Structure 1
Amino acid sequence: MNSPDVWTPIDPLGEALHFLRMSGTFYCRSEFTAPWGLDLPPMPQCLMFHVITTGQCWLEVEGEAPQPLQPGDLALVSRGEGHRLVSTPGATAAPLFDLPREMISERYEVLRQGGGGANTNLICGAVRFDHPAAHQLIQLLPKVIRIQPRPSPHTDWIRDTLRFMAAEAETLRPGGETVITRLADILVIQAIRAWIERDSAAQSGWLGALQDRQVGRALQLIHRDPARTWTLATLAAEVAMSRSAFAARFTELVGVPAMHYIGRWRMHIALTRLKESHTTIADLASQLGYQSEAAFNRAFKRYIGVPPGTARRQADAA
C-alpha cells in the first residue's frame, strides 16, 4: 500500500492554496521623495503587490476609494488592474516604464523619483500564477486586499518578515534578490489566506464549495485526476451521495453542473500546458482522457473559444 504524500494538503481548500505557485514577472525597490507619483499599467493575469517599508503613500485603483498605506502595510492588486501610487491623493503620476531604473538583475530593479521631500520606500512586484486552480482563486479575490499587521501571535511573524524584507532590500547582499522574491511569495499567499479567513465572500461560490465536506471532496478528486472518465454516478459514489442529490448540490454551490466543470477544468489545464511545454496536441488529448485529437480540439474550442493550435501560437507571440 502506497503511503500518502506528506506534503499534500488533505483538505480541498488547502490543496487549492497548495497550487499557488508563482512565477515572478518583476520585483523592484522604489525610493521616492515627495512629491511623487507612479502610474502602473494593467498587467493581465498578474497579481501586483506593494510593501511599504518607510514613509507613506496612497493607492488609487479605479472604482475603489483611495487607500492610505503606512509602514508595514501590504497591498495586493489582485487582478493586475492598472493603478497609481502617489504621495498625496490626485498627485501627478509618471508612467512606470518612463522612469529611469537601475537594473540589479533580469527581474529586480531599483526605481527612484521625486522632488526631494519626505522619503517613501516600497518593495513592489508582479507575479503570475500558472495553475488552473490558482486562476480560479484569483478571479474570486477583490480588486484590492490590504493587510495591516497588528501586534498579535498570528501577525507577529508577518511584521518580522516585512522587516527582514526591508533590510534585505536596503542592502541587497549576495543572494538578496532570491531572499526578497521568496519572502514576497509567502507574503502574497498569507494575504490571500487572511482574506479567506475574514471575508464572507470567501464562504460562497467556488471557495465555499471547496469547504463543503462532500462537494469539496468531489472537486479535489477532479483536480487530482482530471483525465479519469468521470460521470455523475462515479463522483456521487465517491462522496457517498445519490446521483440526483449530488448533481443538485454541486450545481448549487459551484454555479455550473459537474460535467461542465470537469470539461472546463480539463481545458484550462490544457491551455496551461500549451503555454508551458512543447507537448503535441495529440499527446495532450491523450493525457486528459480524450480518445481522439479531434474530440479534444472540439472540446477545447467550445470552452476556450479558439482551437488549441491558435492558443499555442497566441501564447508564443505573447
Structure 2
Amino acid sequence: MRDSHFQPAPLSDPLGEVLHMLRLTGTLYCRAELTAPWGLIMPELVESMMFVIVTSGHGWVVMDGEEPLLVGQGSMILLPHGKSYRLLSNPDARAVPLFDLPVESISERYEIMRHGGGGEMTRATSGVVQFDHVAARRLVSLLPPVLRLDAWNDDGGHWLQSTLGLIAREASAMRPGGETVMTRLADVLVIQAIRTWLDEAPEANLGWLAALRDRQVGRALALIHRRPEQDWSIAELAGEAGMSRSAFSARFTELVGQPAAQYLSQWRLHLARAQLLETRESVGTVARRAGYQSEAAFGRAFKQFFGIPPGGVRKLAA
C-alpha cells in the first residue's frame, strides 16, 4: 500500500480499493512549448501509461487504427497501454521522433521542450507513469486505447489547471519531498480520467469490473485481494458472500470468467512475481506470503504458470 496508515475501506467498495492500488512509479513530466507547424512521434513504452494535457492552443493525437483526435485547451488524453502515437499541430504535419529533440532539464523528473516552426503557440504537459500493483495492472489492461477528460468543462472549475501549476512549481523548486508531491498529483489526474471512464463507459460494466461492482462476488474479490495468503476455501468465500457454494461458484465464474480457485491461485502467483522483482526477499518468504506452505509447491506452481522458476525471474530482470 502507498501509505502505512491506510485503513482498508469497507468491503462494500472493492472497486474503490482497486483504484487505491493505482500507485504510480517512474513518473516523468515534460512541458512542451510548440509553435506551428510542429509534430512529435512519441515512442512505444512497454508497461507504461502516457498522458497529454493541452494547457493552451490545440493539437491532434494520431494513433494507428484510431481516428485522429483533436485535443483542445483543457483536455487531457490518457493512453493506458504505452502505444506509440503522434502529437501534431494538424493531422498532416511532419513529425520528428521525440528523442531527437533537445530538452532543458529542470529536475530529474521534469523537463521543458521547445519545438516548431514559429507560428501559433500550443503549450502541453505530458507524462509517463507506471503502476506497481497487480490489481492496478489488471484494471489498466481493461482500459480502451485512449481516454479523454475535458476537466475544464466540469462544474468543479479549473482543478486540472491548478494541479498542473502545482506540478510545475514542485518540479522547478526541487524542494525536499517534491517528487512525492508530483507523484500524488499524477495520481489525481490519472485516476480522475479512469473514474470518468468507469462511470460513463458501457464496457466498464462487464467482466472483472462488473464482478467488483457486484455486491456478493465483489465482497469475495475484496477478501482475496486483501488477504491472498489466507487458506481460502470456496465454501468460506461463499459464506462471506452470503451465498451457497454452488450459487457462488457459478456466479463468480460467470462474472470473472474463471473459477474462484483458479483466480485465487493466479492472483497469488502474480503478486509473488511482483514481489520477486521488486524486493530482495527470499523465495521462501515470498512463497509464504503468497499462501504456500512449502517453497517446493510454490516453485512448481510458479513454473507451471509462468514457464520459469521463481529464481529465474530475478535473473532475467537483472
TM-score by length of 1: 0.92
Once the two structures are TM-superposed, the CA of residue 83 in structure 1 deviates from its matched residue by: 0.8
Identity of aligned residues (%): 49
Aligned to 2:159: 160
Q: Which moved more, 1:125-134 or 1:287-296?
A: 287-296
Greater shift in the superposed pair: 36-45 or 161-170: 161-170
2:234/2:261 contact within 8 Å kept: yes
Instruction: State the alpha-carbon separation in 2 of the partners of residues 314 and 124 from structure 1.
Output: 31
Measured after TM superposition, the shift of residue 86 of structure 1 is 0.7
Measured on the aligned residues, the alpha-carbon RMSD in Å equals 1.9
How far is the alpha carbon of 1:296 from its aligned partner? 0.7
| Cα pair distance change 1:303/1:122, threshold 3 Å | same
Q: 1:30-109 counterparts in 2 under 5 A?
A: 30-109=32-111
Structure 1 match to 2:286 = 284
Aligned equivalents of 2:226 and 2:170: distance in 1? 43
**C-alpha distance after superposition, 1:12-52 (max 9, x if no partner):** 01111110111133111111111111111111111111110
State the alpha-carbon separation in 1 of the partners of residues 218 and 243 from structure 2: 13
2: distance between equivalents of 1:185 and 1:116?
A: 34
Shift in Å at residue 161 of structure 1?
Answer: 2.9
Matched, 1:9 2:15: no
Structure 2 CA distance for aligned equivalents of residues 294 and 161 of structure 1:
51
- Matched AA of 1:280: S
Q: Alpha-carbon deviations, 1:204-244, whole Å to 9, x = none?
A: 11111000011000000000010111121111111121111
1: CA distance, partners of 2:8 / 2:218? 15
Once the 2 structures are TM-superposed, how far is the Cα of residue 69 of structure 1 from its aligned partner?
Answer: 0.4
Runs of 4+ in 1 over 6 A off after TM superposition: none
Secondary structure of 2:65's aligned partner: coil
Residue 18 of structure 2 corresponds to residue 19 of structure 1: no
What SS is found at the alignment partner of 2:298? helix
TM (norm. structure 2) is 0.92
1:172 and 1:150 map into 2 onto residues whose CA distance is: 23
SS at match of 2:90: coil
Question: Which residue does 1:219 correspond to in 2?
Answer: 221
> Which of residues 280, 294, 310 is equivalent to 2:312?
310
Shift of 1:90: 3.0
* Count of aligned residue pairs for this structure pair: 309
Aligned to 1:213, what secondary structure does the other structure show? coil
- Give the CA deviation at 1:262: 0.5
Deviation sequence 1:42-94 (CA, Å, 0-9, x none)? 11111111110111100011111110001100110011111110111032211
Q: Is the 8 A contact 1:165 1:180 kept in 2?
A: no
Check whether the contact 1:39–1:83 (CA below 8 A) recurs between aligned residues: yes
Unmatched tracts of structure 1, length 5 or more? none
* Letter paired with 1:85: L
Q: Deviations over 1:102-142 (max 9, x none)?
A: 11122211112111111111111110001111011000100
Query: Matched residues in 2 for 1:118 and 1:166: separation?
Result: 22
